[in-house]
Amino acid sequence: MDALASSPLGWLCAGVTALFGVTALCTAQRSPMDKANVLLWSLLPALLGLLCLALLGAAGGLVVFLATCLISSTYLGGQILLPVGDKAVLVTGSDTGIGHALAKYLDSLGFVVFAGVLDKDGPGAEELQRSCSGRLSLLQLDVTNATQVKEAYLKVSEKVQSTGLWGVVNNAGILGFPADGELLPMSNYRQCMEVNFFGAVELSKTFLPLLRKSQGRLVNMSSMAGGIPLPRYAAYGASKAALSMFSGVMRQELSKWGIKVAAIHPSGFRTGIQGTSDLWDKQEKELMENLPADTRQAYGEDYLQGLRSYLLHMPTCCDPDLSPVLGDVLHALLARRPHGLYTPGKGAYLLLCIFCCFPLWCYDFIISKMLSAEPVPREQRTSEDESKNL
C-alpha cells in the first residue's frame, strides 16, 4: 500500500477525485445532507480505484477508476442544481391544482413567476396575488386562445427583455368525463386534444424564442395515463400520450440550442382536475344524448349512472400531497442534467416498467385485477353478477 500511495497512478487518481469532489461541492445548491451525499459519490472513484490498483494492478485499477468516475459524474450531474438567481418561469393552469401549488412553490424559492390563469378575476388568481411576493405576475391565459397566448408572450418578453425566459411549464389540462372510450362523444376527444395537446404545443412554439435566449427548460405536465393505457381514459390518455411524444421529439430537436425538455408523468394526485358537479352534469348530459340506443342497451342504465360515482370516488384514491410533483418539476428546471421523464407518485414508475418490459397480456391482467370491483355492462353480466347488483 505504501508503494501504491507513492505511485504516479495513485496520485493521479487521488488528484482527479479531489478536483472532481471540490467542483461538485462548490456547484451543489443543496442542504448539508445532500452535500454529504455528493461528497460520498465524489470519493467513491478514488476508493474503488485505489483498491483495484492494489488488487488488480495498474491496468485493472485504471479501468475501474474511469468507469466509476463516469457513473459518479452521471449521478452527480442529476444531483447538482443550478442557483435560482433571477430565473423567470411561466406556469400555465395556475388557477387550481398542481399549477397553483407550483406557482406558489417557485415564488417561495425566489423565481420570477408568470402564472397563467384561465380567470384572472377568479378565486385562484386572487389567492396567488394575496399570498405570493411581488415577483409573481398574473397572466390571463387560455391556452386554446391564440390571441391570449400572443398577448402573454408580449407581456413576458417585455419583462424579461434580453435575458430570456428560463422555463415554461405546460401544466394546463382538462380530464373530461372518465368513461369507456365507446361511450365518450367526439367533442370530449376534441376538447382534450385542444387543451392538453394543441394548447401546449402552440404555447411552446410561441415561447421558444425566449427559451432559446436563456438556453432554458421546457417542462410538459403529462400523466401516468399518457404513458400506459388505463380504462376510462381514452380521450384524456390519448391527448397526454401525444404531449409525451411531443416532449420526446422536442428533447431531441432542441438539444442543439441548449434547451432541455422534460415530461412529468404523475400518478394519482388530488388536484381538482375532475371538475365541479355542474361540469359533470353538463358532460353527463352530452354523453347520454349522443349514445345510440343499442349501445345504451348493451351497457345498461345502472352502468352508465355508475360513471358519476366513479368521479365522486376519484379524490379518495388520490394523494393530497403534491410535493413529489413539485420536487420533480424543480429538478427538471434546475438540474444540470435533468431527466427526460419523471414519474412522481405511487405506482407510476412500476406500472410503466411492467407495460414496457413485460408481455402486454401480463399488463392487461394486472389492470383487470385492479379494476375487478368495477361494475359490468349489462350484456356481459352472468346470473351471479345480476344477483350482486340486486
* DSSP letter, residue 320: S
CA distance 312 to 319: 15
The 3-state DSSP class for residue 117 equals: strand
Q: Name the CA radius of gyration of the chain, rounded.
A: 25
Cβ–Cβ < 8 Å for 124, 171: no
CA distance 6 to 23: 25
Amino acid type, 179: A
Give the residue, 242 or 271, on which the prediction is more confident.
242
The alpha carbon dihedral of 272, 274, 277, 278 has a sign of positive
CA separation, residue 301 to residues 50, 264, 295, 313 (Å): 73, 37, 11, 19
Over residues 205-225, the pLDDT tens digits come to 999 999 999 999 999 999 999
Beta bridge partners of 269: 319
Over residues 90-110, the pLDDT tens digits come to 999 999 999 999 999 999 999
CA distance 96 to 117: 9
Cβ–Cβ < 8 Å for 226, 192: no
Closest CA to 207 of 89, 338, 85: 89
> Which H or E run contains 162?
none
CA distance 237 to 354: 18
Active-site residue 105, yes or no? Answer: no
Residues 6+ apart with CB under 8 A from 10: 4, 50, 53
Q: What is the pTM of this model?
A: 0.78
Give the residue, 178 or 134, on which the prediction is more confident.
134
Beta bridge partners of 90: 114, 168
Pick the catalytic residue from 105, 153, 236, 303.
236
pLDDT in the model for residue 8: 62
Over residues 300-356, the pLDDT tens digits come to 887 877 777 776 666 667 778 899 999 999 999 999 999 999 999 888 888 889 999
Residue 116 has a CB neighbour count (10 Å cut-off) of 31
CA separation, residue 334 to residues 116, 233, 327 (Å): 21, 32, 11
pLDDT in the model for residue 307: 76
- CB-neighbour burial class of residue 288 (10 A; exposed 0-12, middle 13-18, buried 19+): middle
Q: What percent of the chain has pLDDT over 90?
A: 53
The alpha carbon dihedral of 48, 54, 55, 59 has a sign of positive
pLDDT higher than threshold 70 for residue 235: yes
Beta bridge partners of 221: 264
Listing DSSP states for 169-225 in one string gives: EE--------B-TTTS-HHHHHHHIIIIIIIHHHHHHHHHHHHHHHT-EEEEE--GG
Residue 185 has a CB neighbour count (10 Å cut-off) of 19
Give the largest Cα separation in the chain, rounded: 88
Q: What is the mean pLDDT of residues 101-127?
A: 96
CA distance 27 to 111: 19
CA distance 352 to 22: 37
pLDDT higher than threshold 70 for residue 13: no
The alpha carbon dihedral of 142, 148, 149, 153 has a sign of negative
* DSSP letter, residue 335: B
Mark out the alpha helices in the chain (DSSP H runs).
2-6, 8-27, 32-79, 97-108, 123-131, 146-160, 186-192, 200-214, 234-253, 277-289, 293-299, 301-313, 323-334, 348-357, 360-370, 383-389
Residue with cell 415577483: 135
